[in-house]
Amino acid sequence: LNPKWLTKDKTFDFPSGEELDFRVEVWDRDKLSKDDFMGYIQVSPHELEDGKLTESWYTLKPRTSRDKISGEIRVSFTYHSE
């Protein structure tokens, strides 16, 4: 496989005072058929150090027990509590 990443360097704002988990879904975009779900990761703010870049490999998870998922994704986060 030779993946082409269509999303890079995104900033997301969350409501202050709420520590919501952040979910990243990975899809294989197909031009001639439906897109294929490849897995997701979920990161909690508790896993991230405030103001520090955290870069890690995350194992992709299935949505249901029927999903056949394997692989990892490398993601970088910088979390700012305020």
Relative to beta strand 36-43, strand 72-78 is unpaired
- In 3-state terms the chain splits into helix, strand, coil percentages (rounded to 5) of 5, 40, 55
pLDDT average, residue stretch 44-67: 89
Of 15-19, 37-41, 53-57, 64-68, the least confident:
15-19
- The answer on pLDDT for 71 being more than 60 is yes
- Sequence-ordered strand ranges (E) for the chain: 22-28, 36-43, 53-59, 72-78
This prediction's pTM = 0.76
